[in-house]
Structure 1
Amino acid sequence: MSPPDLEQPVLWSLLGGGFVAAFLHAALPTHWLPFVLVGRAQRWSLPRSLLAVTAAGLAHIASTALVGSLIVAAGLALDGIVAGLLPYLSAVLLFGFGAFYLVRSAIRRPAMAGGPALDLAEPAVGHATAFWGLVAVMALSPGEVLLPIYMSSAQEGVGALALLTLAFAVGTILGMATFTTLARAGASVLKLERWARYEGAILGLALIAIGLLIVTHQH
């Protein structure tokens, strides 16, 4: 398998778009607020909380990569039957996710439901239980919004998919760590949640832009 061509501007655009999408997705309160609450209840230091963030973020991306690899394998098999279908299918999915986030950001405020459980923040919970509980919850919730980007890069080869996974990991951990640190430093959680409403709109536009990039690259 040949290494990815790092001189291709489309590859760099996908990597940059993947990093941005992962960072913005990690800015949702369900990706950092549990670490703030658990860290406060367990009286963790900031480095210990960030260690949990890093481990959980890696687990989150590992499960995303696993699901993404299965989707890519199925997509490539389908692409062998219907030549050229895979890029357009991934673009349609990106458009769909982008529209979903745009609509959701316009009609509702960020909700705490649907993400990692917050009841881990009981003071009686052991440190190891709290730590691995956060990691397990993130591992069991792969980033569905990142999966179409895997599909769009499937034909670039394994090397490109590995680079994309790295971009996802860096963006996710950086986003989770940034907002966890801000909240622990005294930033208003309510203000951060209000910012997350605009995150939905920005993420939607970013996903649609990546979809347009894929479609344009096919012509």
Structure 2
Amino acid sequence: MIEIITGSLIISLLHAVVPNHWLPVLAISRKERWSLSETLNITLISGVAHILSTILIGVLLSLIGAELNENMEQFTKVVAPAVLVLLGFYFVRQHYQQHHYGGKQQQLFGKPKRKIVLALVIAMLLSPCMEIEAYFLLAGTQGWWVMASIAILYAAITLTGMLLWVRLAYKGSLKLNWHKWEHNAGIITGITLIVTGVISFFTH
């Protein structure tokens, strides 16, 4: 259980830092000359859409995990940890491939604000955080309070992180190599999933 919460915390923190969700909003904001308050409000709206779709999928996976745990003796011991390890290797592999964020933002420049916001919300709604979903699956074997803890932790950290980074970047207080951050986050995510899976295997 501790490893599930810890792994979820690490993934949530990484997710809040990696700019592939909030940087496009900032880029459009600068192009469209939005104020800081407008930019933060739109970041909030799109962030909530992203969190809702992630948690909705997570709850469904928790239900599946709980059902499998009741009817499949080896699920908690073997299958769930194996899923984490396999996903971990997938993200490590992705680390060595090229990443791009905000690829479609150019298409939104010059559009009416309402259409831009709608497009951002839909894009965020349709791009849930798949890295955290494996933890929801495993949480289903531990009880509803573990699932709820992951959901609250993920939502709070992700939304706070998005708003914080947008605010700092908007004011020019944040000057980092975001591509490097995004690229390296992949391998950290992968290693976190692998370690969690291995620990889960040996502690259940």
Relative to structure 1, the CA distance from residue 118 to residue 209 in structure 2 (aligned partners, 3 Å threshold; closer, same or farther) is same
Relative to structure 1, the CA distance from residue 93 to residue 179 in structure 2 (aligned partners, 3 Å threshold; closer, same or farther) is farther
Is 1:37 aligned to 2:27, yes or no? yes
Relative to structure 1, the CA distance from residue 24 to residue 78 in structure 2 (aligned partners, 3 Å threshold; closer, same or farther) is same
Is 1:192 aligned to 2:181, yes or no? no
- Structure 1 runs (4+) deviating above 6 angstroms are none
Relative to structure 1, the CA distance from residue 44 to residue 213 in structure 2 (aligned partners, 3 Å threshold; closer, same or farther) is farther
Is 1:91 aligned to 2:81, yes or no? yes
TM-score (norm 1): 0.80
- Out of 162, 183, 201, the residue aligned to residue 176 of structure 1 is 162
Corresponding residue for 1:59? 49
Q: Where do 1:68-107 residues align within 5 Å?
A: 68-86=58-76, 88-105=78-95, 107=96
Corresponding residue for 2:100? 111
TM-score (norm 2): 0.85
Figure out how many residues of one structure are paired with residues of the other and give that number. 203
* 1:155 match: secondary structure: coil
**Residue deviations 1:66-95, cap 9 Å, x none?**
112222222333333212414532322221
Corresponding residue for 2:193? 207
How far residue 109 of structure 1 moved from its aligned partner, in angstroms, is: 3.4
**Structure 1: unaligned runs, 5 residues or longer:** 1-9
> For the residues of structure 2 that align with 1:117 and 1:167, how far apart are their CA atoms?
30
**Structure 2: unaligned runs, 5 residues or longer:** none
Letter in 2 for 1:122: F
Superposition RMSD in Å: 2.4
